[in-house]
Amino acid sequence: MKARGRIWWWSFGVVMAASSACAAGGAAGAPADLETAASAGDTQAMYLLALQCELGSAGAPDPLAAARWYTAAATAGHAGAQNNLGLLFHGGVGVERSYDTARRWFERAADQGSSHAMANLGVMALYGQGMPQDFARGRDLLTAAAAAGNARAMTVLGSAAYEGFGGEVDRVEAARWYAPAAERGAATAQHRLGLMLLRGDGVARDEVAGARWLRAAAEQGHAGAQHDYGLVLAQGRGVERDVAAGRAWLGKAAAQGQPLAAARLAVADGAAPAAPGGR
């Protein structure tokens, strides 16, 4: 079956607030006690330094240094570092891309109970990356991650059901996965569920609830939701009509490069009809 839809990758752990960029050997200007602890073998300190290097903190990211610190922490058994190192290998960031190596690190993290790594393995199984394509295994891994409360795994399961990826199209099942993911704050799930509620697609039609979920996703910066919430405001679907606010949300989406937003800014003035459904 041809792969369809979008798949999301994500990191594990809480990003540490940092005030400096990462240099080749570590984190330039990073708290001395953190770097000292990492150099002394503290795996959590290694992990936090790797996050600083990956994200760049206040300066440019240093993926090479991130890979070195993640490797040190991952080799010592840190599950978050194992998952994030797998992401680097999957994307070829700071290391040569290798789906096989990514899979091995995800497996080590999943063996320690990381729901993020389980979800990443599930996606790799769905797409046959680093392993034979196996829809059943992919769904099992994603379901296990979802059972552990992983909202993004729920979102992927919802999207697979909605698009019929690896099985039959099942919009009711899609809504069943999107709903708890949306409640947990997953912006993509909030957007998709909002559209389904607006249309009565797999769920009872409820424009008020649909608009509310679109706004929740839009407020998190989801460009597609900003586009669609702008349209429902301009049209007064599930909300009081507010053309100016609708234009403002369309402008935010356009600023992020949402392909339909700029073309549809005129919709807020009633120049042309359009229905929510941007991506």
- Flag whether the pTM goes above 0.85: no
The residues facing 26 across adjacent strands are 23
DSSP 224-277: HHHHHHHHHHHHTSSS---HHHHHHHHHHHHHTT-TTHHHHGGGGGTSS---S-
Q: What is the mean pLDDT of residues 40-59?
A: 89
Which whole-number Å values give the CA distances from 271 to 39, 224, 234, 264, 265, in the listed order? 63, 21, 11, 9, 9
What number of other Cβ atoms are within 10 A of residue 226's Cβ? Answer: 29
Helix (H, G, I), strand (E, B) or coil at 6: coil
Give mean pLDDT, residues 91-119. 97
Determine the pLDDT at residue 13. 36
Given a cut of 80, is residue 4 above it in pLDDT? no
Q: Residue 211's pLDDT is what?
A: 98
> Mean pLDDT lowest for which of 29-33, 213-217, 240-244?
29-33
Q: Residue 19: its pLDDT value, please?
A: 31
Per CATH, the homologous superfamily of domain 187-279 is: Tetratricopeptide repeat domain (1.25.40.10)
Task: Return the SS3 of 26.
Answer: strand
Q: Read off the pLDDT band of 242 (50, 70, 90).
A: very high
Least confident interval from 32-41, 61-70, 128-137, 154-163? 32-41
Tokens of 86: 């797998």
Could you tell me if 256 and 226 are in contact, meaning their C-beta atoms sit under 8 angstroms apart? yes
Does pLDDT of 28 surpass 70?
no
The DSSP result for 41-98, as a single string, is T-HHHHHHHHHHHHH-TTS---HHHHHHHHHHHHHTT-HHHHHHHHHHHHHTSSS---
Domain borders along the chain are 187-279
**Tokens representing 155?**
């979102």
pLDDT at 2: 34
- Where does 78-134 have alpha helices with state H? 79-91, 99-111, 115-127
Which two structure tokens, joined as six digits, stand for 196? 């389904």
**Worst-scoring range by mean pLDDT, 11-25, 79-93, 118-132, 205-219?**
11-25
pLDDT in the model for residue 27: 46
Given a cut of 70, whether residue 58 has pLDDT beyond it is no
In which band, very low, low, confident or very high, does the pLDDT at 265 lie, cut at 50, 70 and 90? confident
Token pair for 78: 């840190």
Q: Which of 9, 92, 81, 10 is nearest to 52 (CA)?
A: 81
- 98-123 mean pLDDT: 98
158 pLDDT higher than 80 = yes
pLDDT band of 1, cuts 50, 70, 90: very low
Residue 23 backbone dihedrals phi, psi, to 5 degrees: -100, 175
Tell me the two tokens of residue 73: 């922490």
Mean pLDDT score of the chain? 87
pLDDT at 274: 53
CA distance 252 to 38: 41
**Percent of the chain at pLDDT above 90?**
78
Segment 241-264 shows an average pLDDT of 92
